[in-house]
Amino acid sequence: MSGHSKWATIKRAKAKTDAKKGQVFTKITKDIILAAKGGGDPNMNARLRAVIAKAKSANMPNDKIDQAVKKGTGELAGGEIFEMMYEGYAPGGVAILVEVATDNKNRTIAEVRHIIGKGGGNMGEPGSVAWMFDKRGVLSFDPAKYTEDQVMEVALEAGADDVVAEEGTLEVRVAPENYSAVEKAFEDAGIAVESSELTMLPKNLTPVDAATARKVMNLMENLEENEDVSNVYVTADFTDEIMEELG
C-alpha cells in the first residue's frame, strides 16, 4: 500500500507561505468557528480536533480557543462566518483552489480575483478544477520512531486508504468519513501522530519549470497573506530539484 507521492514536497513548499501569513490567530479563529458548527466536542468532531491542535501549535491561548468554539456553536455571538471555495488557474496552467472563511463574500471574492489576476492566473467557474483534487485526511508520523510496518498495520485495520513512506516522511491518507476512526486507532495503539489535517490532494501533478514554480509560489504567498484565505491548494509539481533551485 506504500506509494510515491509529492505531497511532502508540496507541504514543505506550502510551509514557506504559511510562515509568512499575517493575522495567524484571526485565521485560526475563523477555522475554529466553522469547525465548531459541526459540534463543539473535539472528541466527536475530527475537524474541530485538528484545528484546535493547529491553534495550540501556534500558541493560541486556551481562552481564545474556547471563545471561538462557543461562537461556532452559537453560545456566543459573532459566529457568522461563511466558508467558500474559489477555483481557477495559476501560471503554467496549474489548477488552484482557494479556501476562504469570510464575513463578507463580496469583498473576499473581489480581493481573491484581483490577487489571482495580478499573479498571472484567472478565476474559473465553480467545478472547473475541484474535480482535480481529492479531500483526504493526512496523518504524519516520525519515521525515526515508527516503522512503515507498524503504521501500516494500524492504518489497514482502521480503514485508511494509503500509506506513503519516502524521503524521511511517513504518512497515512484516509477518506474524510474514516478520519476520526483512524486517528482514534493510532491513539489506542499508542502511536503518536506528529500532525493531522484534512486537506485537498491533487489527483495528478502539473509539471512546471523553476520560473513558473516561482510565480505559483508567489501567488500562493499573496493569497495566503489575505486574512480571509484559509488554505491554497495547487497541482504544481514542486520537485526537489526545483525547490533547491528556488532556495
Q: What is the pLDDT of residues 26-64, one digit of tens each?
A: 888 888 999 998 899 988 888 898 889 888 888 888 999
Q: What is the pLDDT of residues 17-26, one digit of tens each?
A: 554 544 778 8
Residues 146, 170: contact at Cβ < 8 Å? yes
Q: Could you give all domains of the chain from N- to C-terminal order, each with its CATH number? A: 9-18+84-118+204-237 (3.30.70.980), 24-73 (1.10.10.200), 132-202 (3.30.70.980)
Cα dist from 13 to 18, 80, 134, 137, 220, whole Å: 9, 32, 19, 19, 10
% of the chain surpassing 90 pLDDT: 53
DSSP β-bridge partners for residue 137 = 174, 198
Q: For residue 146, is pLDDT > 80? A: yes
